[in-house]
Amino acid sequence: MAKLFYEKDVDPALIAARKVAILGYGSQGHAHALNLRDSGVDVRVGLRQGSSSADKARSEGLRVLPLDEAAAEADLIMILLPDTEQKAVFESSIGPNLREGDALFFAHGFNIRFEQITPPAGVDVAMVAPKGPGHLVRRTYTEGGGVPALVAVAQDASGKAKQIALSYAHGIGAARAGVLETTFEEETETDLFGEQVVLCGGLTALVTAGYETLVNAGYQPESAYFECLHELKLIVDLMYEGGITGMRFSISDTAEYGDLTRGPRVINAAVRQEMGRILEEIRSGHFAEEWVAENRTGRKRFSELRSAGASHPIEKVGAELRAMMPWISAGRARPQDVSGG
Ligand code: NAD
Ligand code: MG
């Protein structure tokens, strides 16, 4: 078993001794800023001019500064901007304000792993990546719990980068739940692989293909929707609580026999080979290059694919059925809470 760090393994004084700047006040930013502040850490929030989040942060009692002033004043800078915006903000506002002895923190390794950002020597470079959406990072903290996190060090100028990262993780509540040490490589590559192959890409393609197979065979779209999308939550909740075996304990023997004999025919050798190719595209930097270029050229393909997905028939029938079940949408997460990191 890998070693996990808990509160007793961490020195909270390290982060309490720093001037921390949280850049960005989105999903992760608001949670880190508020949790650190409530843990007694000296926090300021860096936002671009005219940011709509500034009033929200101020109304929580946080000090808000322009990005470059926050970076200049702080000696530990956590970048919680969208991954695609970080390089430009680093070049304009962060890099020029880094001094020897400062620490530069990330919540996801993309820009370091794929060399979009190259911090100067003399600066600690570390990651504290909560394994959960920002609203849970905040909510579990206020309830006395925490969301687990990964920590990693890319550059250890002070000789204490890992201890400081653990102390930061403690400040946001993660050491209550468990902190796992990793590397920027492992975090970035497994994160991209997970979202592409299983959590987002694999899952949406599986659901859509199952739905289309049933509808094309003449079954009612409503039946196909309930079967292939709606019921997923029940199954996923059971797996979350009790693993795959726990889930199988709760389903019928007929469902379990079908699962055991048919599942491997769906995720067959060809699919596994494709998973391997996707992993290789991630490790070689091919995916990162493609995504950086897509952003540089105005996201045309991304927008087209997004619209095509949104106008698929499963979305129309789903919207109609969910409108009859208002309790479902009442508890829905904001879209940005399920992405990234
Ligand atoms: P977000 O989109 O929710 O928030 C980004 C913030 O940056 C917002 O305050 C936005 O107004 C601001 N912003 C956007 N563009 C900007 C620009 N050009 N200049 C200045 N400010 C700008 O982002 P997030 O989901 O909190 O992600 C932040 C980091 O955390 C990313 O590295 C992400 O990979 C990582 N992460 C996210 C999650 C998650 O669940 N959302 C989980 C773990 C790690
Ligand atoms: Mg992730």
Which tokens go with 98?
């880094």
Atom 12, ligand 1: residue with shortest CA distance: 24
Residue 337 Cα to ligand 1 midpoint, Å, equals 10
CB of 81 closer than 6 A to ligand 1? yes
The total number of residues shown for the chain amounts to: 341
Q: How far is CA 136 from the centre of its chain?
A: 12
Closest ligand (CA of 134): 1
Residue with tokens 């996923």: 236
**Spatial contact of 141 and 35, defined as CB atoms under 8 Å apart:** yes
Closest ligand (CA of 187): 2
| Interval 82-131: pLDDT, tens | 999 999 999 999 999 999 999 999 999 999 999 999 999 999 999 999 99
pLDDT of the residue at 341: 41
Q: How far apart are CA 313 and CA 201, in angstroms?
A: 18
CB of 340 closer than 6 A to ligand 1? yes
Q: Give me the amino acid identity at 304.
A: E
Nearest residue to 23 via CA among 258, 278, 72: 72
| Interval 260-271: pLDDT, tens | 999 999 999 999
CB of 89 closer than 6 A to ligand 1? yes
Closest ligand (CA of 92): 1
CB of 130 closer than 6 A to ligand 1? yes
Q: Locate the ligand 1 atom nearest the alpha carbon of residue 28 and give its number.
A: 26
Task: Round the CA-based radius of gyration of the chain to a whole number and report it.
Answer: 22
Nearest residue to 27 via CA among 105, 81, 68: 81
Q: Which helix (H) or strand (E) holds 154?
A: strand 149-155
Nearest residue to 167 via CA among 12, 7, 35: 12
CB of 128 closer than 6 A to ligand 1? no
Which residue among 32, 34, 81 has the greatest number of ligand 1 atoms within 8 angstroms of its CB, and so is best to mutate? 81
pLDDT of the residue at 1: 78
Query: Residue 306: how many CA atoms within 13 Å on its side-chain side?
Result: 5
CB of 133 closer than 6 A to ligand 1? yes
- Phi then psi for residue 226, to 5 deg, are -60, -45
Closest ligand (CA of 23): 1
Ion ligand 2: residue ranges with CB closer than 5 A: 191
Atom 44, ligand 1: residue with shortest CA distance: 341
CA 88 to each of CA 7, 48, 91, 117, 296: distance values in angstroms, whole numbers, following the listed order: 36, 12, 5, 9, 11
CB of 112 closer than 6 A to ligand 1? no
pLDDT of the residue at 224: 98
CB of 48 closer than 6 A to ligand 1? yes
Residue with tokens 């087209």: 304
Q: Please list the active-site residues.
A: 108
Q: Give me the amino acid identity at 17.
A: A
Residue 128 Cα to ligand 1 midpoint, Å, equals 14
Contacts of 28 (CB under 8 A, 6+ apart): 80, 107, 130, 134, 137, 341
Transcribe 31-97 into DSSP letters.
HHHHHHHHTT-EEEEEE-TT-TTHHHHHHTT-EEEEHHHHHHH-SEEEE-S-GGGHHHHIIIIIGGG
CA 341 to each of CA 26, 83, 107, 319: distance values in angstroms, whole numbers, following the listed order: 13, 9, 6, 28
Q: How far apart are the first and last CA of the chain?
A: 23
Residue with tokens 């050798």: 269
- Phi then psi for residue 256, to 5 deg, are -70, -40
Q: Which helix (H) or strand (E) holds 20?
A: strand 19-23
Residue 261 Cα to ligand 1 midpoint, Å, equals 42
Residue 339 Cα to ligand 2 midpoint, Å, equals 7
pLDDT of the residue at 334: 52
Q: Please report, in tens digits, the pLDDT of each residue of the chain (341 residues total).
A: 788 999 999 999 999 999 999 999 999 999 999 999 999 999 999 999 999 999 999 999 999 999 999 999 999 999 999 999 999 999 999 999 999 999 999 999 999 999 999 999 999 999 999 999 999 999 999 999 999 999 999 999 999 999 999 999 999 999 999 999 999 999 999 999 999 999 999 999 999 999 999 999 999 999 999 999 999 999 999 999 999 999 999 999 999 999 999 999 999 999 999 999 999 999 999 999 999 999 999 999 999 999 999 999 999 999 999 999 988 877 665 554 444 44
CA 59 to each of CA 53, 62, 139, 141: distance values in angstroms, whole numbers, following the listed order: 10, 7, 18, 19
pLDDT of the residue at 339: 44
Which residue among 22, 25, 27 has the greatest number of ligand 1 atoms within 8 angstroms of its CB, and so is best to mutate? 27
Global pTM?
0.92
